[in-house]
Structures are given as C-alpha cells and as structure tokens.
Structure 1
C-alpha cells in the first residue's frame, strides 16, 4: 500500500511539474542543453603512419580509427565486438602516444592467464618495442620492490602485468586519504538531502565504513617494508585495462541499499583500480585510461554508469550525475521483487532496477566515452559463414508431466497460496530449465532419455570428431558442473569415450585450477591435441583464446544473460580461426521453456545493441538481466498454446518496425538540421569562391618561366637549393610553438607551423586564404608539394563552384526528406493492436 501511494505521489508531482508552461519550457530547455547537445565523434585514422609497426601487419580501418580516437581522447572504452582485434589497437595507441610525448609510461593490466599472449601479440605488432612483463611468480613480496624500481629506472615502451600483480601495488597513504575523503564528502552531501530515515541509515553506514578504512590506513602503512615503492612513484601516465567488464564491481553509495548488479561494498580490486585511475586523471589533466571489452553491458544497463564513472568522471560531475542516485533519477526506476538468496535455497523481497528511461540521451552520454565497433557480416578475417543449427528434441512423457506441475506451481504463486520465499517464478524457471536439459537433474530416479538434449549433443560432438580430423569443439554447460557423484560433465565424457573418443582428447576447463594449467590446456586445444573442451560460461567463455581450429560451439543449456551468448560464441567468431565455415548448435526441447527463453535472450540482446549503438526505437525499456518467465508464459508453454508463438512473431516484427521508425525519425531530424544550415553553408561557399579566385590570380601574377623562392631574405632560383634551405630552417626552428614566417613563394607568404595536434610540422601558404602543405623527406619533394598546393587551387575552385550549383538541388531533397512520412505507420499501428489482443488472450496485459 505504501509503495502504491508513493507511486501515485510521483505521478501527481510529474503532472504538476509540467502543467505550467513557463516551468515546462525552462525544464525542457535545461534538459536539451545538457543531455541532447552531444554529437557522437567520428575519427579517421587512415592517414596514421604508426612508425615502428611491422609493415606486414595491416590494421583494419576500425582499428586505425580507434587508435586515433585514443590518441585524441582523455579516456576511452573500446567496446569492440569480441574478436575484433582490440589488443593491436591498444598496443598501437600506446606506442603512438609515447612517440608523440602524450604518455611516456604505459601500463597494461590484463587477465593473468593471457600475460604471455599479450606479450607475444604486442611484440609481433612492434618487433622493436621494449616491453616489461611482470610475471606473478616474480612479483613475490621479497622481489616486489626490486621489480618496481626496475620499472621506475626503465625507459620501456610498455609494462604488462596481470590483475593480481596490479592490485598488490599500493597507492601512498596521502593519495588514499584524498580519495576516501572525497567519497566521504559525497556521502555527507547525500545524507543532507536524504528524505527517508532508512536512506539516511544506509548512507550513514557507508560513511562509517569509509571512516573505518581511513583509520586503518595508518595500521596498513606500518606493515609495509621500509622504502616501499608506491603506485604514485612509478610515473604511469596511462593505464590500459583488458576485459574491463571484470572491474564493474565498484563500491556505489546509494540510498536504496543493496541492488542486484551493484555491491555497496564493492570489490577491493575494483576500488583499487578506481583510486589509481583517479590519481592519474587528477595529475594528467583528466586523461589516463583506456578500457577494452566486448561486452560493456553484462548484468544490467547500470553497467554503463560504472564505465561512465571510470572514464567520464569530469563530465558526469558537470551534469550532477556522479552520484548513483542522481543517475537513477534520470535514467531508471527502482521496484521491489522476489529474488533468490545467495545460497540458492531461500528467497527474499529485494529492490532492483527494473526499467530504464531517456534511453536516447543515455546512449549519447555513453557514446562520449565509448568507441563502438561490431564486425560486419562480410568481414573476411573471421569465419565468413556461420551455420546456426537448432537441434529440436521431443519432450518425454515425464517432462510433459513435470511442465504441467510447474504450471500448477505458477498458478499457486499467482494466487498467493504459497509463500514466495518457498516458491516463486525464478525457482520455477530454474527447475524448468533443468528438466528441459535432463530430467535426472530434477528427479535422480529418472532413466537416461536417449533422445534428450544431452544425448543429442553427444551424438553431434562424436560425429564432428570422427568426420573432421584435428578440428576442435567447445561444449558450454553452466549446470551440473564436475563434482563428486552424478553430474552431466562426467556423463558426457563417458559417453564420448564409449563411442571411441580418446579420454586425453576430452577435457573440462574446471580441471585447470591455476593460470599455468589454463595456459597449458588452451595450448593443447589450439594445437588440436584436445579436441573437445567442456566448460561453463564463467570459466570458458571469457578470456579463452582457443579459436585456431575451432569448428563448432554447442549451447547445451541456455545462458541466463545476453552477454553470456556473446562471450560463448566469441571464442570461435574471432580473428585467427582457420575455418571459413563454422557451426553453432542450440539445443531445444519441444514443449519446454527452451525456445521461448532463447527468444527472450535475443530480444534482450537486441535491446542492449540498440542502447549501445544509439538505435533506441523507444525512450524506455526493461532491464536486461536474467531471463525469468512470468506465470502466464509458463502456463501457455505448458498447454502448448499456439498464441505464445504468435506473440513471439509479433514482438519480433514490432521491434523491427520500431527500429526502422527510429532510423526514419533520425534521418528526418538530420535533414531538418542540414536544411537550417544551408544558408550559412551557401554563404561560406561563396566566400571560399571569392578567396580562391583571388589566390588563383595572385599565383598567375607571380609565376614566371624560372623558379624563384625568397627564404630568410635570400632569393633562391634553383629548386634543390631552396628545398635544402627549407630543411635547414626546419632544424633551426625545431621547437617553435607559434607560426614562423620564413619566406615568400609564388606571391604567397610562407610559414612554418605545427598541425592542429601539435605533433607534426607543416608549411602554410597564406594569400587571401591559408593552405597547408605537408613535409617531405627530400628537398625536391618539399618544393613539389608546395607546387601541388598552389596548382591545386583550380581544382578546389571547380569543386566549390559545383557545390554552389548543387545547393538548390540539395535544398529540395532535404526538404522532401524532412517532411517524408513513415511508410510503415499503418502496419506499426496494426502490429500494436494485434499484440495487445494476443497478450490479452494470454493474460499477459
């Protein structure tokens, strides 16, 4: 009742807030100026030379563009699809920033199990690079200071270390105090604005925890060895973090207490990274971090807040979104629902983020820190043909009866006749998944069904093993992992051995209990010595580069989250796979939750992609965490209601039409904006025409039969002599910051200057306009380039005149585009009406 009253108060307040026209206009103007005025930046790295890079390795356009964006940005997230080549991007960016003097010391923090892989790929791209690799075994307490002093004294291009080693390097007491006091001040501000007593109590608990940590700083300092080296002594300018989604668990102070996906206490490694990044950003004008991950959103859309806090700290502070509660007010809604306890047994009522709002603006804010790339379908560097094979198996009689029992349980949950701590939709969904996988997981007395998903998977794995020599397969299974007693992992292995697969060609990723064992295991898979590797999403789906001979991925069970699918399939769909054609198997039991659960996963993944890409068809959407069915969905699936299939078809088509409408509306808006800019553009073109005409006349009047160039008061009549003198002047004025006039050529004043980045020297020719000429390595080449600039004025004038002539045609086309109606509006309306009818019949309104 209290929650309902709170909701009514919020609705009434919103109605009052926007009822008054002046107040509404003021709020809308403020919102548009702060949240709708961001234009996603685009970078063209095609002209980057990247000195020192192996010329035999050709970086792709998206990689070069990303390198340029890193060089020209303070902080950035490489949100590139799994397998898109992020390692090369970060290595090239680090070397380029070091060459330009932007970042003199670069630290790479990577998963422990891929240290050697990182070192190999870095030196493969830059063979002459000096790289220090910090092995965990060499970073013992006895050797730690020696290793850190080696870093301080070195002039290396990159330092690569694992997560574990990085967390062992402490910040100095002064820096930790500064960071903790900043957190304490933020909490104090929130406490002053807290309305409810429970919110005040929660925030006070956070404040006490930080005060306790401040008191422990002195004690911790006493345990450090004399002369200890701190992180702030290392002189690190930029931190590169690979698989950055592993650091999303930062401590977040919120009045709402504990929320799924958020840990108020955070993890020590994440808070340690945040503190070190804040130190670097504070001492380097706000820059200093490059993150990389193929799955920026994993558990929740709120993962975007975590990345924004790491990488967009200053901008978030300007927008008053640094506090999580303010971010929630702008983009989300908190509700209360039942969820499973951490021990997997009990259930409790828990607050969670359930819905998101203002998604286009959230996407714009995210694009300000994120460089996005999704591999196109025609990319030849990854397997060009991916066969998705849905293996549908019949439901056994015992499974059909069990699904009916689940429907009864769902009705009891709906009616309230059973306490939700005893049974709820999450538990029902989990039991339904287990039963669809193998009935023995819910009833150990059940016989082995030869037509089950598991046995179908075993047959497929064996067939591929016997037909395709030396090629490898991955089987993903998150349930019934290896343990004493019955489990599906051992069951699969024994059945494969009975069919003739050698035991030493089958492995469980769970058996590799440390980094060395994982490295050895993955090497065997890459070489084809282990041909069937079975593992869970958590242990095998992240950071496992075993793609060399990988032919098939088997989804034996259904992942809980969309990001799990991305990580699983990303083990195979990546650069380095020698197979042009690969297979992805999805196993579905008829009459179970499987097909519908896969559809929900796909819808959620589509929603994530739309948020990240900025293609949001609507301004709001549901959370993207675990897939839990409603009681109506369970009941419909249990009785085989054909309307559930119709619902899926309608939702998919509606989503497709909404995306088309979103793109249509965006195209109309862009056309209207360009239409408004046409008068100014026309004026600029006319001005440019006049300038080019004057400068062409100037060039004609000062171009004779012989060569003549005035440099530093002396006239040169030979091209080579003039070019050599220009090279001398470049050396004489190597450190100038401002433009320096050095002579006259063909009537134009000749200046020596720096380009816009300040990193490259250029020449400027100034008449009525200003024209850039790049340097050349030879004396004759410099003169040739200056001539090309002057002689090219005629072509530029012709291009400008052509643009002026097309202006009238452009205006007509843009006006037509800005007024064009959406061609599928009628179909969209009908889809909505039909979906509402179907939902009504299914009882899902």
Structure 2
C-alpha cells in the first residue's frame, strides 16, 4: 500500500507530539504521509476501481483521526509535565465531535457470523470500519480508548479524558512513621530497601529495624529483608530449619524462629492422611514389609521416582496359596496385583480366541472382576497395615507432613500501591490491587478471578508496575479474538501513556510478518496484545526445543546408570523413552524456523486471558482406561507450555501469568496441567511431576453404580474420589489468586434466589416413557453384543444417549406420532413460565437515566440445547416451537417470544436485547451456545428455566450468569430445572455434581474437606439435590441416607483409630521409660560404688598425667591443657583429666572454613555428662564445675526410681485400654450390609425386568 519513494529534502517533515514511527500525518502539497523506517513516505490513494492504494474513504477517516490523535497526545503530555491542559481538552472535544458527526463512533463495530460447512462451528468476525484504516498508526488504540463505546447501541460517550485529569504527577508521600516509609519504598522499588527507609526517616538503620519490629524479617539464606507476609508464608517448615541453624550462630535470628514456629501448619493425624499403594512418599521398603507381614512372602521392589515407575519381583507369590488364592487369583497373582496398584493400573485379563484363521484377544469379564476384587482387598489391607505400627506411623506421618503439609498461605495486600502513570479516573478494588501486588512480588500467577472482577485492568497494572520496577522488559498479552479491541482500550484507558502493539492473525500473513517483527522487536513496547489464534504463529526456537529433548535424554542416561542390573523392566522402559526422544530430536533437526520466534520478539513475560482454553496438556499415564482421566492434550496447550518454558530461561519466575474465571472446567487432569504451567518446581520437589505419582497422592479409584441411558445401573470404575484435598488446594493457591463470584457481591448488587437454591420440578414418567426406556435397553444390548466395529448407519451409544435425553423432554422428539402428554416436563415448564408471565405483568422498570419504561412486565429465559428449531426437520417436532405455540394459545402475544438462533447478526442481537429491556419481548428461548454468553438482557429477568441439563458445571454457571448479574432490577429471582423421574436427567445431574464438587473445593480453599465425597454447601449440593429428586426411586433415597450415616460412622471410627494409635504410642513410651529407668538405676549404683570423695582436704585430680591436690593449681593446669588443645584445633576425643574415679574427656571438631568447636564430658556408667568449660572460665570455677557433677548421685538414683514407678503405673493404665472395640462397629457393619443390599438390588436391574425409575 505504501510507496517507498522518498520525499525531496525541501518537503517539510512531520512535527508535533503525535508523530512516531508508523504515524500518519497530512502534508498540504503531498497529501497523506506515513513515517516508514524514520522517513516520511507518501501513501498512494486508490483511483476509481483500481486495486492499488488506500480507498478515498479511508483517507478521509485517517485525516479526521489525525487531529484526534494529536490532541490526545498533546493533552497527555501537558498533564504529565504539569502544564495548562484545559485548552488541549477543548481541542480534543472539537476533533472527536467532528469525527463522530462525519463517521460515527471511533469504535464502531460490525459483527458478522459464518458457519463452518464441515464442523458446523459458528465463528464471529468483528470488523471496525473506522479503526481499520488507522491500524498501522502506533497510536491507533490510544485513540480508540478515549470514548466509552456501547456495542449494543453503536453509540459512544466521551470518556474521562474529556473532563478529568487522567495523568497527574505523583503526590509527595506523607511519612510520619517507619510503616509509612516501608509502604513508600515497597511502592517505589517493589521490595524492602532498609537503607532507603532509614534515609526517608533521617534515622539510622538499627533504629528503623527496631521500629518496624515484626513487620519485617531478614532472610538468613539471602540476607535480604522481607515483609512479614512474604517471610512467614510458603514452605515454612524448611524456612524454620534454616532459621534455627542461623539462630545457633547468631542470636538475632531467634525472632525468626519464634515467628516461624507460630505459623507452622498443624500436623495431620494419621487418620487424616490417605496412604495409597504407589504414593511416592511411601518407601518401597515399607511395601516389602507389608507383603512379608501380610502374605508371608519375600519380594523385591524397585521405585524410580523420576518416572513414577515401580517394578516388582515376586515369583514366590506366583506359586503360594497366599498369592494365587487369598490375595490374588490363578490368572493374576498378588505380586502382579501389587505392581498394578503401585503403577496405578487397572488389571485386565484377556483370553485368546480363534476366529477363522486369525486369533484375537477378548476381555474375560469374570476373571477381570475377580482380579479387581483382590486388588481392592490388597489396597484396603495396606491402608489398615500402614498405620498399625507406632514407629512406622510416626515416621511416615512426619514424612507426609514435611513434604505436603508444609505451606503457610501468603496473604497479599496491595494497599500501598500508588500505580504511577495510571489514570486518576479509575479507582481499583482491593482484590485488583492484591492481584497486582501478587504479580509484582511473586511473579508467575494464576488470576482465578470471576467474571466482572476486572481482570484486564489488573493485568495492565501488573504489566506496567513490573516494567516500572525493571522486572520485565516486554510483555505479551494473549486474549480471545473478540476481546482484542476491548483489552487494548481498557489497557490504554488505565495507562494512557503506555506503549502497546496490537495484532491479530492478519498481522502474520506472509507479506506482513517482517513488518510486524521489526516493529515488535525494535521498539520498547510495554505490551504486545495479540489474539489466541495469532499466538500460534509465533514459534519457539527449534534450538531450544532440541535442548529440552537433550536434557531429557541426559536425565534418562543418568537414570540408566542408577538402575540395578536385575531390574530389566525399568531398563527396557528407559530405552523405549530414549528411542522416542531421539526420533523427536531427529525430526526437529530438519525443521526450519519459518515463524517468528518468541525469542526474536524479545518477550520476557506471557500473560494469557481466558486461559482455560489452554488447559489440556497431554501427559503419560497408566490410568487412561479409567473414566475421569483424559491424558490427550491440545496443540495450543503444548504450544503455550513450550513458549513459557523458553521465556522461563530468560526471566526465571516471571515467565507466565494466566487469568480465567473458570480455571478448572471439567476433569482432574486440568488441575495437574495448571500446576505444570505454574507450579512445576513444587511438583518436582514433592516427586509429583508425573501424573501417576500425583494421582496416587491426591486421587483414588472408586467403583460406583452409575445410571445408564436405559435408566438402569451398572458398576463403573472411575477416578472420581479425591483425597488429601487440602494439601492439593494449598499447592494450587500458592500461585493462584482466587476471586469467587460471591466475593464480588461486596462491590456490585446481584439478585438472590428466592429459595436460596435452584428449584427442581420433576415430572412423573408415563407408561409410554417407561416402554421407550425398554426400547433403549434393547438398543444398548444390541450394541454391546455387536462383534464388529460400528459402520456408517449403525446404531451407536451416543445416539441412544441423545434419544434418551430428547425423550425425557417430550416423547414426540423421538417419535412425532406420539401423543401430547400434558404432565411431561416440557408442559410443566410452559405452565410455570406462563404463571410467572401473568404474576409479573404489572412489574415496572426504569431506564439508566432514571425514567420509567413505558411497558411493564418481567422477562424470562428458557434454556435448552435439545429440541431446538433446527432439529424439527430431522425429528419432526421442536420443543421450541411447542413452547411458543402453547404460550400463544394461553394468551401470550407471539411478538413477546423470541428464539435466539433467529438473531445471528450482532446488530439484530442488540436490537433484540433492547426490546427485552424495553419490555417488548418477555421470553427469550435459546441454547447454551446462542444465549450462554454475550447476552446483556438481565434488566427485567425474573426467572430462568433449564429444560435440559448441560454436560458441564461451567455451562450451567454461564447460563445462570445471565440472570444472576449486576444490572438486574429484581432483588429476588427464581431459577428452575426440570427433570423426568427415572430418565437420563438423573445421570446428567450426577455428572455435573461430580465435576462441581472438585471445582468448588479447589477454588474455595476450604481445608476441612479432606475427601471430596464430603460435599460442602452451595452449587455442588444443588446438583446432588437435583439428582436425588429426579430419581423417583425410593431405594436411591435410602442409599443416600445410608451413605451419609456410614460417612458419619467412618469419621467416628477414624477417631477411635487415632485413640488406638495414641494408646499404643503411650504403651511404647512407657515400656521404653521402664527399660531406661531400670538400666539407669543400676548404672548410677555402679557410679556410687566407684565414687572417690573429693570434698575439702580429700581433693585430688590428675591432669594430663600429673597429680594435683591444690584446686587453684589443678584448675590452671586443666585450663592450660584445654587452651592448648583449642589453639591446636585438636580433633577427636582424648582423656585430659581424672577426678573422683571418673575420666574427663575432651572432644573437638573443625567445621566450615575456619570454624572449631569442642566439649568436655565426664565419663560415667552408661551415660556421659557434659560439663561446660569455656576458655574464659577461671581455674577455681573449672574445678567447682567438676566437683559439682560428683555430688547428688543418690538423689539422681531416687528420681529414676520415681520415674520407673510412674511409667509402670502408666503402662498398666494404657494396657487396660488397649484393643478396645469400636463402640459403633455393629451399627457400621449393619449399615454397610444394608447399603450392599440396596446396591445389589439396584445393580440387578441391569439384567432383570425391574424398570422402576432410578437416579
């Protein structure tokens, strides 16, 4: 588009504050110009229908925007330099008004949609006709940020810059105390500078330290000063050890020790800790002992923590009855099952059968189930055995507490932040300043902030503060495509003088790549803002990826040298891994870096908004056959991971900031992925960097009865129980800053639910519906019995599930010839929605300006992803159309009902939302996709209806976020969910319940929940309630009650086990005390017999072989001997004197570079008594100390007798309590028996004819 012809030297160059590289300007004689490579270049204008040059309309737009840009820059410069700025504000208003009159708002946005013919995916394209011509100007987005644009109405209002001072010189701080000075220095420098604080206070450093007191601590490892919240948090057990070692050498660190002792996590009791076979913190030797004591067999186990790999050699168990009968089966002996448990494998036993001339492997279900049962028996026995020995219990509980229960949470506080350069028109919330300070002080962070928390401004301020403090040089902000313009505008609205570069995928076309690279790499940008899709065009240097692989190869080579010669399994696995890496390395060696690389651009921090889109990192696992474990990752997630690893090498600890309102949306693997992104070092330290090791510590495999699409039950093994949850949460929250939706209620007004929860309305299943369930049952059996892969046109399970879900709404969705059933859930919804329409007909509402709307009446939303208008062709019936027709039949005007899918274009959507706000439309009917996001129609919403159940909790949250939203003029609203008893609805709620439990627990930070079955209040409870009510099966209700009773009794049993542990420990301690006291009584008696009195004139001592009877002379000789040995830095033990029948031994040792220490002990029977004889003690003082140790032997012996008697009393007392039965054991057994009976009854309906509704 640009002519490279240089202007003659006489042509006047650009001038004024707004002209930079890439800037447009207008020359009276040459027309539109642009600065390219530092030189003014003419911009050719397209003539007529020609293809070359810029269209004339674009030139007119640019010409109108240049004065706006110049006025903005002039205004900001005047405010920055504290010069008169009102005239520039007038100029800006005139220039902006002129542009808006000619072309409309600067940010005018046209949204178009297109549908992918193959996938059916609908994509939105945002076109900005007034900004597009100006995009090459470096100040394009600064100009865009000056107006408040409403995309719904396509109108804009002048922003704060038109009326307020947005840039002000920083106010001089008021410092009246050391804490004031500390806040000022933290704001200025981002860390404590004790000398600067003293300088501000005009005091000496020691006085300042004393005045700040417990607000700061010196870290003995680094010598630097830290704020109390930073020092007294994190891995505080390790910090305490360091502080104690430092305090031994320097008393000044005693205050560190005292403070750290106060924040140590309370040790978990053994009953709190779930110890599973395969957990990396349980040594292989303990598993060997378990097998020896439980099965009477000798086995060998090799554990390779680097790969989370265990190998078991247990040939003996292959022929012992204990291995093939009691603890295993004849096809999977106990040794193999132990290896399965350690490696998180599910045993599967196959038969080889002949089919024609070929052979194939077929799963033997009976033998597999038998092996699974024995595996569960081994796991249960191990969990009982592991805590049965007091010494082992103490040791392992200590290991677990030190490795996992070792984090004290840091409470960040950003109240001191002044944010130099930020616009005074904005006042940030406390949680935003907290997030900013966390990014500044801690580096890599996950901003898990709910929608409406103001993430973009938190990110912008975090970037600018890090830039100001020199912590980063160039940030890259990666945002969804539809948020690009909004992110750029909000960034510049908060920081008007920031230098940002904005780009989407169009900037990475071949003809534009070089230009973008040169602009990105050669200028000192504060931030480069690009879209998720454009981010993939930026590469990772292939040399770096090759080095990553070489490092991994080197690790495997090192591991091979450690593998024992007889551990063939580990050796083979390592060789296979090495071979795979070599193949990847070879492929990379031929790859050319034809993309821009993150290194070339100079980015040293990546910030990703809506980071849940990158949540699926692939991982290796033995558990991929289990439900709930998805090891398959996405390319975009791996791409981000590789780039963040590269940036980490350039800027350690600050490579990545993630932001999302829904950090965990679906599976357990997502939490592991998030920790790999931001907490990899913590995983590595704890031996959890491999998924199976992580899952063995925090997860458990459970077999549950799950409802099938035919309404019956089937046992399914899944990874759905999470254990040791608080330790997992602590690791997550060590880098995550969490703001929940309820946290925002203190800032914004959001309506509440009338009943405090979602209301479940259930419909009774009709006889026809039950008959249709039998049809589904027959289809499932036919699919299961099919002995070949599915072919096009065959029935598949997904079709059965889909039909089952449709049938639960209305049987006409599976057969249009069915009759209308007045009491099905579709008609229940219509009746309820009509009732609300009538009851709220007179409700009135007001506009933003306070004036009332002309029309009265509340609005409602009806959600369903099934039965839409589009399925009418294939199914012959539409729930949407029936809703509309029935509401109209009952008296609702057709004009008041709208289907969201009829409004595809943005302008049409905005008109629709305007009609809802105005009361013209009172029913919006749509799906999660069409109505779940981007709907600003909450003003009149009184009720929301779920006709179906979405797959994910996040979809339910999105739906309900339309009504539970700021701007809704109702104080109280209703949310209804509709279910058909005995249908697929129950399983859908069950799935959502399972997922919601984990997400709610992880984000809430509730450390009282140790297992995820203990459901807390709120969203997860509502899912459970929906499942129970929708079931309609009294057996399931009984099952839920029994499970609750058993959970309560299990907690009582855990307390009983803890008591038993305590009793055993007391018995052990008493026995040790008896043994010790008995021995000491005898030894002290020996000392009494050999004691030679030294009192008064009987004094005598030998020092270095010479006898003395004068105390003063003896003391001089003794201290001279000690001083000589100290000066010689004598090492080892040597006898230097003898007194009263006992030798005095000197022991010295060197340490560190020049350190030396010694001690002196009196050699007594069975125990040596240390006597402090520092070189500074006087001769008589030294002798007095020696003689003092020779008196009181009889008193010492008497004290031992008393301790012996006390220990014997304690032993008798505790032995009487040992082995006491659990008082509620009978009740627990009976409850379990009843539960097993109900579960068997439910399970039997798989093959039986019992078609009662179940959940």
Identify whether the pair has TM-score above 0.5, normalized to the shorter chain: yes
Partner of 1:322, secondary structure, is coil
Measured against aligned partners, the alpha-carbon deviations of 1:678-708 in whole angstroms (never above 9, x if no partner) come to xxxxxxxxxxxxxxxxxxxxxxxxxxxxxxx
Counterpart check, 1:361 vs 2:748? no
- Aligned residue-pair number: 656
Aligned to 1:163: 532
Change (3 A) 1:835 1:400: farther
Q: 2:873 aligns with which of 477, 482, 485?
A: 485
CA deviations 1:535-592 (Å, max 9, x no partner) are 5546754x64646647254322112333332233234434566665554332233564
TM-score by length of 2: 0.45
For 2:1238, the equivalent position in structure 1 comes to 842
Q: What SS does the aligned partner of 2:900 have?
A: strand
**1:23-102 to 2 correspondences below 5 Å:** 23-102=392-471
Structure 2 equivalent of residue 476 of structure 1: 863
- Cα gap change, 1:430/1:490 in structure 2, threshold over 3 Å: closer, same or farther? closer
For the structure 1 residues 30 and 496, does the alpha-carbon distance in structure 2 shift closer, same or farther, using more than 3 Å as the test?
same
CA contact (8 A) 2:667 2:995 kept: no
- Counterparts of 1:573 and 1:332, CA distance in 2: 33
The alpha carbon displacement at 1:477 in A equals: 2.7
Cα distance in 2 between the residues matched to 1:835 and 1:83: 47
Q: Which secondary structure does the structure 1 equivalent of 2:742 belong to?
A: coil
Distance in 1, Cα, partners of 2:1226 & 2:498: 62
Q: How far does residue 330 in structure 1 lie from its aligned partner after superposition?
A: 1.6
In structure 2, relative to structure 1, the CA distance for the partners of 1:350 and 1:155 (3 Å cut) is farther
Tell me the equivalent position of 1:434.
Answer: 806
Q: How does 1:134-145 map to 2 (within 5 A)?
A: 134-145=503-514
Displacement of 1:169 in angstroms is 0.8
Shift of 1:65: 1.8
Contact 2:629–2:668 at 8 Å: present in 1 too?
A: no
Residues in 1 aligned to 2:492 and 2:472: alpha-carbon distance in whole angstroms = 19
Which stretch of the first structure deviates more once superposed, 437-446 or 404-413?
A: 404-413
| Correspondence 1:323 to 2:669 | no
Identify if the C-alpha distance between structure 1 residues 11 and 562 changes in structure 2 by more than 3 Å, giving closer, same or farther: same
For 1:573, the equivalent position in structure 2 comes to: 964
User: Matched residues in 2 for 1:472 and 1:22: separation?
Assistant: 67
Question: Contact 1:53 / 1:127 at 8 angstroms: preserved in 2?
Answer: yes
Q: Please point out which of 955, 961, 964 is paired with 1:564.
A: 955
Q: Which residue of 2 aligns with 1:280?
A: 647
1:24-79 CA distance string (max 9 Å, x none): 43322221111011011111222322234343433322222222222211211122
Equivalent in the alignment of 1:214: 585
Structure 1 residues 546, 432: closer, same or farther in 2, change over 3 A? Answer: same
Q: Secondary structure at the match of 1:329?
A: helix
Question: What SS does the corresponding residue of 2:478 show, helix, strand or coil?
Answer: strand
**Distance of aligned partners of 1:586 and 1:19 in 2 relative to their CA distance in 1, 3 Å threshold:** closer
Residues 118 and 487 of structure 1: is their aligned pair in 2 closer, same or farther, counting only changes over 3 Å? Answer: farther
Q: Distance in 2 between matches of 1:203 and 1:465?
A: 68
Q: Label 1:315 to 1:489 Cα distance change in 2 as closer, same or farther (>3 A).
A: farther
Aligned with 1:588 (options 960, 963, 979): 979
Q: Structure 1 residues 463 and 405 mapped into 2: Cα distance closer, same or farther (>3 Å)? A: same
Q: For 1:374, which of 740, 750, 760 is the aligned residue?
A: 740
What is the CA-CA distance between 1:83 and the residue it aligns to? 3.4
State which drifts further: 121-130 or 532-541: 532-541
Call closer, same or farther: CA 1:217–1:454 in 2, change over 3 Å: farther
Q: Distance in 2 between matches of 1:540 and 1:204?
A: 52
Secondary structure, aligned partner of 1:101: coil
- Aligned partner of residue 376 in structure 1, secondary structure: helix
Deviations along 1:698-735, whole A, 9 cap, x unmatched? Answer: xxxxxxxxxxxxxxxxxxxxxxxxxxxxxxxxxxxxxx
Q: Distance in 1 between matches of 2:1014 and 2:1041?
A: 21
| Contact preservation (8 Å) 1:506, 1:533 | yes
Instruction: Report the CA distance between 1:270 and its aligned residue.
Output: 0.7
Q: Distance in 1 between matches of 2:693 and 2:423?
A: 48
- The 2-side partners of 1:577 and 1:634 are apart by 29
Q: CA deviation at 1:310?
A: 0.4
Checking the alignment, whether the CA contact within 8 Å between 2:896 and 2:922 is kept in structure 1 is: no
**Partner residue of 1:112?**
481
User: Contact 2:811 / 2:818 at 8 angstroms: preserved in 1?
Assistant: yes
2:774 to 398, 402, 405: 405
Return the alpha-carbon distance in structure 2 between the equivalents of residues 411 and 127 of structure 1: 63
Gaps of at least 5 residues in structure 2 are 1-328, 333-346, 348-370, 709-713, 844-854, 1021-1025, 1055-1221, 1242-1255
Does the aligned pair in 1 maintain the 2:618–2:631 contact within 8 Å? yes
Question: What SS does the corresponding residue of 2:407 show, helix, strand or coil?
Answer: coil
Q: Does the 8 Å CA contact 2:897/2:922 hold for their aligned counterparts?
A: no
Task: Identify if the C-alpha distance between structure 1 residues 249 and 610 changes in structure 2 by more than 3 Å, giving closer, same or farther.
Answer: closer
Aligned twin of 1:621: 1012
Shift of 1:21: 4.3
**Pairwise CA distance, 1:432:** 4.7
Question: How far apart in 1 are the matches of 2:812 and 2:935?
Answer: 33
* Counterparts of 2:922 and 2:551, CA distance in 1: 53
Q: CA deviation at 1:437?
A: 1.9
Distance in 2 (alpha carbons) for counterparts of 1:351 and 1:838: 22
**3-state DSSP of counterpart to 2:424:** coil
Unaligned runs of 5+ in 1: 342-347, 628-632, 663-825
Query: What secondary structure, in the 3-state scheme, does the structure 2 residue paired with 1:28 have?
Result: helix
Change (3 A) 1:264 1:607: closer
Q: Distance in 2 between matches of 1:257 and 1:170?
A: 30
Contact 2:641/2:677 (8 A) holds in 1: yes
SS at match of 2:510: coil
Secondary structure of the residue aligned to 1:118 is helix
2:1012 counterpart SS class = strand
The answer for the alignment partner of 1:508 in structure 2 is: 901
Counterparts of 1:190 and 1:531, CA distance in 2: 68
Selected match of 1:555 from 921, 940, 946: 946
Q: Distance between the aligned counterparts of 2:488 and 2:693, measured in 1? A: 42
- Structure scoring higher RCO (CA < 8 A, sep ≥ 6) equals 1
1-structure distance, mates of 2:820, 2:608: 46
Larger mean Cα displacement after TM superposition, 228-237 or 646-655: 646-655
- Would the aligned equivalents of 2:478 and 2:609 in 1 still touch at CA under 8 Å? yes
Q: CA deviation at 1:303?
A: 1.8
Q: CA 1:180/1:146 → structure 2, altered by over 3 Å: closer, same or farther?
A: farther
Match of 1:287, SS state, is coil
The alpha-carbon distance between structure 1 residues 292 and 457, as it changes in their structure 2 partners (threshold 3 A), is: farther
CA offset digits 1:461-481 (Å, max 9, x no partner): 688889586987654333356
Counterpart Cα distance in 1 of 2:506 and 2:897: 29
Structure 1 pair 204–11 and aligned structure 2 pair: CA distance change class (3 A): farther
Alpha-carbon separation, structure 1, partners of 2:663 and 2:634 = 18
Alignment of 1:520-535 (within 5 A): 523=910, 527-528=914-915
Q: 1:258 to 1:581 in 2, by over 3 A?
A: same
**Are the counterparts in 1 of residues 721 and 1013 from structure 2 also a CA contact under 8 Å?**
yes
